[in-house]
Structure 1
């Protein structure tokens, strides 16, 4: 049986979604001077970098990147961040990942940041698959998709051409 690749978002559509989410983040943080964009390692962090570039173009807010390192196979192990807790204490923070599938990665990321007092905490994803087993939601999302459990969403945010496709 061959695997088919169905493109759900092409490069231009992903660029549009990133820009729209950046505007939504700006609107919910319009009175902030600084915001932390905490991207979950790999694609979530790449997505956070793209959001940072867009936020810098459309607002005076100073976005700071924070890489969140979660062992997705063992999410109960220690979660590490590229910023010290003191650097994001009492700030507005957005936890970012590329795909929200079951919600486990996002919920463990949320749990990590709950140990620190924040002004505001939001989540952003490019693709929301609607297969949650944890009560976590994306405050900002590019697209919501209803898929079967045996389908897989792959997002490519590196290189010159971005795409999201369903396998």
Structure 2
């Protein structure tokens, strides 16, 4: 099957910039935010969002990684060195397919009593099998179950998103 660009590198960066402004607009009452990226690509996107938010806002921004196997996301590991209690947390992933991985990333945070949890993704598929609303979306696509979406990084640099 051929790869088709969904987002070029330039358009993907434009989407991340727009998401950053939306985060800023929705959270003007905050002075800090904790961005937690789902490894691997979600964490790389979280790094990009952090850079942009540092340019456009006065937020104090913390960053951490969430480790989970997307094919079996039940075993989710948060960064043990981070206190999430009373924090404003933004969970970031590259693609939200069924919603399962994002929900499993949210679940352990709930026990730690954050002030709020918001979610962001570069690509959201319009069919989800789990009840998840993503707060900040770069692009939402109607796809078939057979389609595969990839967000590609090379040496930590966002290259774009593809449909296969």
Q: TM-score, normalised by structure 2?
A: 0.94
Q: 1:161, 1:68 → 2: CA distance?
A: 19
The answer on 1:164 being equivalent to 2:158 is no
Aligned partner of 2:35 in structure 1 is: 37
Specify whether residues 56 and 161 from structure 1 end up closer, same or farther in structure 2 by C-alpha distance, changes over 3 A only.
closer
Specify whether residues 137 and 158 from structure 1 end up closer, same or farther in structure 2 by C-alpha distance, changes over 3 A only.
farther
Contact 1:29–1:92 (Cα < 8 Å) also in 2:
no
Q: TM-score, normalised by structure 1?
A: 0.92
Structure 1 residues 17-26 or 151-160, which shifts more? 151-160
Aligned partner of 1:119 in structure 2 is: 115
Q: 1:166, 1:41 → 2: CA distance?
A: 20
Instruction: Judging by fraction of residues, say which structure has more strand.
Output: 2
| Unmatched segments (≥5 aa) in structure 1 | none
- Alpha carbon RMSD of aligned pairs, Å? 1.3
| Unmatched segments (≥5 aa) in structure 2 | none
2:96 to 78, 81, 100: 100
What is the number of residues matched between the two proteins? Answer: 163
Aligned partner of 2:65 in structure 1 is: 67
